[in-house]
Amino acid sequence: MIERLAAPHLWTKQISDCGLCGMIDRRGGRFSGRRLIESIRLMHERSNGLGGGFAGYGIYPRFPEHYALHIMYHGEWAKEDTEGYLPTVFTVDAVEPIPTQPHPGVKDAPLLWRYFVRLKTPAEDVDAEQKAVIEAVMHVNAGIEGAFVFSSGQNMGAFKAVGYAADIGEFFRLDEYEGYCWTAHARFPTNTQAWWGGAHPFCLLDYSIVHNGEISSYGINRRYLEQFGYRCTLHTDTEVMVYLFDLLVRRHKLPLELACKVIAAPFWRDIDRAGRDPGEAELLRLLRTTYASALVNGPFAVIFAFNGGMVGLNDRIKLRPLVAGESGAVLYIASEESALHVMCDSLERVWAPPAGEPVIGLLEAAGGTARTALQQQAVQVLS
């Protein structure tokens, strides 16, 4: 005990920090990124200046069907190599530096460029097109030294850096953008180095993840994903989370609710208690056994966003904070209730989502299919 008190730096490690916030207008109304900057600024003490970032949806109305590739380069040589490769796969219709402004809180920026592209050879269908885009992203990130594609979706973009989150939002001039959905992250890394590519959000196509916590199942999750062709190159555990959602939702066509039950799987005892509904119990057993290696262990709170929606999700013991609020058609999610009130000063409802149960906000225009039909389809696929 005396030794411990004499060296307090050995036992004061912060493991519950990182700040998250997100906001979606389910009717598709667009709003400035300024509201997220101010919300994440309120959670300044949840981070330590080693990373932050934002994702915005609906921000590129001039190029709604193009893939917006946001790329950071650590030198002109990397830019030359990448710009030599991109035209072999894509038709590049617009190229420009990502707009920034000098900010004392953001230093040592790499070269930041964006490219609005279409596949050079049209694909047979959407799945084939997305596969080709992912292969190109993986090729750049794993094969071109000094180049990193950190955003690759349609009509959306990620903006991230080393620094405090609010400073990063101002550095990228996000108050000049408007979108129907925004997420933000303030980072407090505990196990990985701080570098621009390792800041949140992590993206693949239009999927993005911001995360508070630690993924202790990273090793098995990574090996599982590599069987499906994913390459983990970003030196952080959070990377697997966005790939898991991509695999489950986009490739395996699971409904969002069921994908969340894979990632934050119910305990076996709770599945047994679901025996009152044999169909539900069967489904949960199939999910738990089929996707055993996709179960995420460890404390986590995430906000998952995509074209058409936003999801908040906790681990099954709720070891990381997450609160939600609503006002009209707008859904808000954050690490702290105070951050919700910054985004909206007239909330009609505020609640703490139960452990492992997702909060899902979908664009009304996206429509949907009955939950029961989707569950029946999933049972058939898994069987």
**Per-residue confidence (pLDDT) for residue 276, from 0 to 100:** 64
**Per-residue confidence (pLDDT) for residue 191, from 0 to 100:** 62
Do residues 173 and 101 make contact, with C-beta atoms less than 8 angstroms apart?
yes
Quickly list DSSP for 66-99: SEEEEEEESSHHHHHHHHHHHHHHEEEEEEEEPP
Do residues 150 and 70 make contact, with C-beta atoms less than 8 angstroms apart?
yes
What are the structural domains, with CATH classification, of the chain? 18-382 (3.60.20.10)
- How many helices (H) does the chain have, and how many strands (E)? 12, 18
Report the amino acid identity of residue 182. Answer: W
The burial of 346, by beta-carbon neighbours within 10 Å (0-12 exposed, 13-18 middle, 19 or more buried), is given as: exposed
The number of CA neighbours under 13 Å toward the Cβ of 173 is 7
Do residues 343 and 39 make contact, with C-beta atoms less than 8 angstroms apart?
yes
Q: At what angle do helices 278-290 and 371-382 cross, to 10 degrees?
A: 50
- pLDDT tens for each residue of the chain, 383 residues long: 334 344 444 444 444 478 899 999 999 999 999 999 999 999 988 878 778 899 999 999 999 999 999 999 999 999 999 999 999 999 999 999 999 999 999 999 999 999 999 999 988 999 999 999 999 998 999 899 999 999 999 999 999 998 899 999 999 999 999 999 999 998 766 666 666 777 789 899 999 999 887 888 989 999 999 999 888 876 677 888 999 999 999 999 999 999 999 999 999 888 887 656 778 888 999 999 999 999 999 999 999 999 999 999 999 999 999 999 999 999 999 999 999 999 999 999 999 999 999 999 999 976 543 344 444 444 454 54
User: What is the model's pTM?
Assistant: 0.89
H or E element at residue 129 = helix 126-143
Q: Is there a catalytic annotation at residue 18?
A: yes
Kindly name the residue from 18, 181, 203, 260 that is annotated as catalytic. 18
